[in-house]
Amino acid sequence: MQRADIKPSNLPGLTGVSIAGAVRSGERVFLSGANALASGSGLAEGDAAKQTHAALDELERALAAVGGTLAHLTKLTTCIVDRGYRAEVYRAISQRLPNVHPVSTGLVVAGLPEPDLIVQIDAEAAIPTAPVRHTRPYTFESWHGQGFPWQGSMVLGTDAEYFVRGQTGASLDHTGTVTKSRSIAAAGQQADVALANLCALLKEAGSSPEDICKMTVYISDRAYRQSVYPMIGKHLVGVRPVSTGIVTSAFAREDIAFEIDVTVIPKVGGVPHSRVRPYHSSAARYGTEAQPLNIDLCMAVVAGNRVILRGQTGMGLDEKLYGIGDAAAQAGKAMENVEILLGEAGATLGDIAKLTIYVTDRAYLAAVNAVILKRLGNTAPAVTSVIIKGLASPELLMEVDVVAIKAGNR
């Protein structure tokens, strides 16, 4: 791995701790979440466009440190604190990424690392030797009538990975969402359409659901879990991805109740990825209770030299919840889990390339950040922190996503 653009973090709780703006492994680049705070350009309080340009400046610097440019961005997960900022934010992105056609996911979140931040971009990138392949690229002069131009793709492929636009209940021809009702049943219908679209897009791009390593499931109400996850299980029979479940404040449009992101890595030589600690979701505990969700998952996926973990919380690997009411204690247990799971997959904490840290209240952010990064010693990963509406159960106060690159051949 090449860790570059290493500098002291401005994230709460990490003063003086060094993190990497970019971590490169082969063609793949993992990036820290970019915002006006990270750029050091000043918050430009209340100015969404200036904050967006500052975030893109930060991404541009980090990419340059590993031999890339903004044109190498493959996926954008754009978090804003109010849907009213969308037009300004996306207009600025569109200005800076002409003809790039990245895939994207748009979220409205409960908060960002500082109260005055409006936007944060969690970007993915690849610097391949061959041209990338776009599946269903599109150009809109006014994206769904929201007043800003947008160029994107449904899938962007390299030889090493497929990047997929976040899938919702919207049809692939951009005509709208299958149902605009906000109910448990409607969320399930949206998930059914989204997963059918996902499977169709992967086939069109030359991949298949068997290549899915991780899914991040976003819903706007925790009650939707009971209808959404069985639909995912219906379409991903036998796949067993790792999973992170996030309750977010809202989506790009009012009618969206569900969105799914996936990490898709093609099998090498037709050999399936290794799925560590497989389990059936209905047999697992989320917080203090089990939830009857009919889907097969696992705790870690090894795809080549990459190790991708299920989002880790205060739930121990013994199915007990630790640190009830204490976010820092939950973070400590989560990192114990991370170290064990990485070891079972042939990696160590020093191999971590990217951390994504979620907390359910700003008051938890500094302590959770500090506990997680302290466990890594001198390792400088790319880091993103986000404040969200909720997790799989009310007792869970934090979750951490981990991606590692195995060194050598352990």
Q: Percentage of residues in the chain with pLDDT exceeding 90?
A: 83
- Residue 207 predicted with pLDDT over 90: yes
Mean pLDDT on 260-281: 94
Mean pLDDT, rounded, of the chain = 94
- What mean pLDDT is predicted for residues 177-184? 82
What DSSP string describes 54-118?
A: HHHHHHHHHHHHTT--GGGEEEEEEEES-GGGHHHHHHHHHHHSTTT--EEEEEE-SB-SSTT--
Mean pLDDT in residue range 208-227: 97
The phi-psi region of residue 349 (left if phi > 0; otherwise alpha if psi is between -120 and 50; otherwise beta) is: alpha
Per-residue confidence (pLDDT) for residue 40, from 0 to 100: 63
pLDDT attached to residue 31: 98
Mean pLDDT score, 30-37: 95
Q: Decide if pLDDT at 41 tops 80.
A: no
- The model's pLDDT over 220-249, given as tens digits with 9 standing for 90+, comes to 999 999 999 999 999 999 999 999 999 999
Answer whether residue 409 shows pLDDT above 80.
no
Give dist(CA 213, CA 276) in Å, integer.
11
Confidence at residue 143, expressed as pLDDT on a 0 to 100 scale: 80
Is pLDDT above 70 for 39? Answer: no
Report the helix count and the strand count for the chain, using DSSP H and E.
7, 25
pLDDT tens figures, 289-311: 777 888 999 999 999 999 999 99
- Residue 42 sits at φ, ψ, to 5 deg, of 95, 150
Q: Is the pLDDT of residue 288 over 80?
A: no
d(CA 214, CA 309): 8
Q: What is the average per-residue pLDDT within 84-104?
A: 96
| pLDDT for residue 292 | 81
| Helix locations, 133-183, DSSP H | none
Q: What pLDDT, on the 0 to 100 scale, is given for residue 283?
A: 75
Confidence of residue 408 (pLDDT cuts 50, 70, 90): low
How distant, in Å, are the alpha carbons of 133, 152, 207, 329 from that of 137? 10, 6, 17, 45
Looking at residue 410, its pLDDT comes to 41
HSE toward the beta carbon, residue 7, CA cutoff 13 A: 13
**What pLDDT is stored for residue 42 in this prediction?**
67
The full set of domains in the chain, from first to last, is 1-131 (3.30.1330.40)
Mean pLDDT of 92-108: 96
